Amino acid sequence: MISFCSGRLLAPALTDHDVAMTATSTTARPGPLSGLRVIELTGQGPGPYCGMILADYGCDVVTVDRPGEVARVDTSKVPTNPMLRGKRSIALDLKQAADVELLLSLLDEADVFIDPFRPGVCERLGVGPDVVCARNPRLIYGRMTGFGQDGPLAMVAGHDIDYIALSGALSLLGRAGEKPTPPINLLGDFAGGGLMLALGIAAAAFERSVSGLGQVIDAAMVDGAAVVAAPFMAASGGGWGPRGTNHIDTGSHFYDTYACSDGEYIAIGAIEPQFYAELLARLGLSSDEYPQWDRALWPALKEQMTAVFAAKSRAEWCELLEGTESCFSPVLSPAEAAQHPHNVARGTFVEINDSLMPAPAPRFSRTPAAARPPVHLGTSTDAARQGTLWD
């Protein structure tokens, strides 16, 4: 049985991982999307996150950063931003005609362009899809916005919380009787935004292998968040109750987190009857007193279960339940997660430039992805100006 407890790490700290996952060469780029050249205009979270995924998958990703941002970089410190890993960076002032022309020349030889701005910004800069795609018909032009390229709110400012609210997804999140709770900016920016755009780019690249043509991708976080929440959008139309009252949204006693005596938390997800039965057996509880699907009893059973788990520390519950068929896990911090024996065995986390990062996912059998070190902003500017960026 695997066991983990805070303060008693069962595995050594991560250092170097498998060579295929931590290749440091900027020329050798294994991965399922190896060979694709990507230009990314630097923006906030979802755009760089999309670029990170593409870099992990083998793309040659070049970010275009503002000269002012590059000037502020402290080059005495190693770069540790995971969303810059595996990328190169050039500094261009897109308010200057010469730099716009340089960007256009780079896009002539690129496969993908990531536009992270509101609709119309790239058009005003002179690098909109009408211009760029006319010069390079094979280019995949990915546009990352909150509300999309059209519609009444297309030009309105917003952030993750606004996009997932409008998508309907935020209304599903939270405990019964409490206000909706945003899951930081995971659902809109990263799942519905950057990850969805990366999927769209991979799909467009496959289609281009048939047609020979690129296309424009309109990736709106409102749309993406709605797609991520699709199963629950359908369920909300019938049989799915208000938030926090259903079996997997903290409404039940067998799918929730619980506080332990040491202030740490554990997670229980014993949905299937055989797993629920094992959970009860290991807790010494009777199925007659803890009927699983009597929804009217869920609030009372949750109170009782809360008292049960509060009686022992997280470490004690790990000793009793971890690795069993009771659907149990300790709730770990990121630092603790990197030390858990299962994650260590799989190399789920890597250490790059003394910074802990998740390893690329998913795993590919023939063309493994690779988490390469990030670089300082602006380090490839000279190569771009000398015309050797793609050499």
- The answer to whether 377 touches 27, Cβ cutoff 8 Å, is no
- Distance between CA 246 and CA 239 in Å, rounded? 9
| Residue 294 is a catalytic residue | no
Catalytic residue among 159, 247, 342, 376: 159
What DSSP string describes 309-364? HTTS-HHHHHHHHTTSTT-EEE---HHHHHHSHHHHHHT-EEEETTEEEEPPSS--
Beta strand extents in 73-167 (DSSP E only): 87-91, 112-115, 140-145
- The answer to whether 188 touches 105, Cβ cutoff 8 Å, is no
3-state secondary structure of 136: coil
- Distance between CA 23 and CA 269 in Å, rounded? 37
**Which residues sit opposite 5 in a β-bridge?**
8
Q: How far are the Cα atoms of 56, 106, 161, 166, 386 from residue 62, in angstroms, in the given order?
A: 13, 10, 29, 33, 15
Catalytic residue among 65, 189, 223, 249: 189
| Residue 189 is a catalytic residue | yes
- Distance between CA 216 and CA 4 in Å, rounded? 48
Question: For 316, phi and psi rounded to 5 degrees?
Answer: -65, -40
3-state secondary structure of 180: coil
- Distance between CA 95 and CA 104 in Å, rounded? 13
CB atoms within 10 A of CB 161: 17
Q: How far are the Cα atoms of 24, 114, 222 from residue 51, in angstroms, in the given order?
A: 17, 8, 20
Contacts of 250 (CB under 8 A, 6+ apart): 175, 176, 244, 256
Question: For 334, phi and psi rounded to 5 degrees?
Answer: -55, -40
- Distance between CA 43 and CA 71 in Å, rounded? 17
Catalytic residue IDs: 159, 189
